[in-house]
Amino acid sequence: MTTAGNILGAPPPRQQPAPARVPVRRDARPAVTPAVLDEPAAAGVWRTGLVAAAAWLALGVLTVWWPNREVGFSDWNFTQEFGIGAIAVAIALGVVALLAARAGRLGRKLRPAGQWLVAAPLLLALWEALTAKLGLLPPPFFAPPQSLLDVAVEDWARLGLSTAHSLRLLAHGFVLGAGVGFATGVWIGWSRIAGYWVHPVLRFLGPVPASALLPLAFFFAPSSYAAAVFLVGLATFFPVAVLTWSGVASVNKSYYDVARTLGATEWFLVLRVAVPAALPQVFVGLFMGLGASFSVLVTAEMMGVKAGLGWYLQWAQGWAAYPNMYAALLVMAVLCSGLITLLFKVRDRALSWQKGTVKW
């Protein structure tokens, strides 16, 4: 069948090529822009933040308007200040919750801790009611939260000096023990002679608690401070040495073969192959050593050291100043948590090149 164009002698119309079919993956999903992700946060409020603000407000109201129960000498100072501080925290959290995404960096940092911001005032309110308001936990053995504020204001100089002395002792002992433990672990893991002679001694004496050697340390050390440094270092030494040895001994032998093929020397194999490959386990030993050093720190400072958190605990217990004792324990917990966080950051930076091969 001829067309009109063919009859009149005109050229047939040009056919347009069919558009190319683009293959579509079955698991493909529509892209979501960052603006779409931010729309719910920008439109609404932070509900958990509002609940946290209400909880802190309830704590402040309970503390200020419920009178303290007078039991003996339990006239707790800074009760009004503690309640007003809780109300101020409630106002700040309420503002951040209402601003939602417009709160900026502060709001983004507070969101992951939202449930803890709700639980903390509830626990503080329970603590306040059982001690200062109802007197079910009798003084002086139990003190309300505002007593910690009293210690921070009235005895900050002695507590701060004790914290500084403990940090110095911990730094000296931890660095010494970690350094010697690391060198010993590398030596045992690399040398067969050290593995034969030193490893059995380490397994035999390592599990002995460092505090059990307290009399010998104070007898042989030239001073009480040197004995305390030795005990803290000994508590750090064992986990670091054992895990460093384990890390060096478990390095894949093919790494050494490749390095030897390229002409690596013995020191190069130790410093550039064995040690980097063992670093993940070395950091595990450092974490364990840090916890052990804190437990020995208190014991060492209670035996002859003239300043420190352990000395402060013994002094507070001798004078029945239990709020001071609780404040020192809180400082120790914050200090240990901060050092562990710092060690995590050092580990992440030191092992950033191993993120593809190491489970985090």
Q: What is the pLDDT of residues 277-297, one digit of tens each?
A: 899 999 999 999 998 998 888
Residues 265 and 335 in one domain: yes
CA torsion 200-201-203-207 (nearest 10°) is 170
**What is the span of the domain harbouring residue 268?**
156-350
Q: Is the dihedral of CA 115, 116, 122, 126 positive or negative?
A: positive
Greatest mean pLDDT among 3-7, 52-56, 220-224, 269-273:
52-56
105-137 burial, b for 16+ CB within 10 Å, e for fewer?
eebeebbeebeebbebbeebbebbbebbbebee
Q: Is the dihedral of CA 344, 348, 350, 351 positive or negative?
A: positive
Tokens of 312: 């402060």
pLDDT attached to residue 32: 44
| 31 within domain boundaries | no
How confident is the model over 263-274, as a mean pLDDT?
88
| Of 332, 243, 330, the residue nearest 293 (C-alpha) | 332
Residues 199 and 134 in one domain: no
Structural domain ending residue among the three candidates 143, 167, 199:
143
| 315 within domain boundaries | yes
Check residue 206 and report its DSSP letter. T
| Of 184, 224, 216, 213, the residue nearest 201 (C-alpha) | 184
How far is residue 84's CA from residue 82's CA, in Å, rounded to a whole number? 6
Token look-up 């509900």 returns 47
| Of 291, 293, 311, 292, the residue nearest 301 (C-alpha) | 311
Tokens of 110: 């507070």
| 2 within domain boundaries | no
| 328 within domain boundaries | yes
pLDDT attached to residue 148: 92
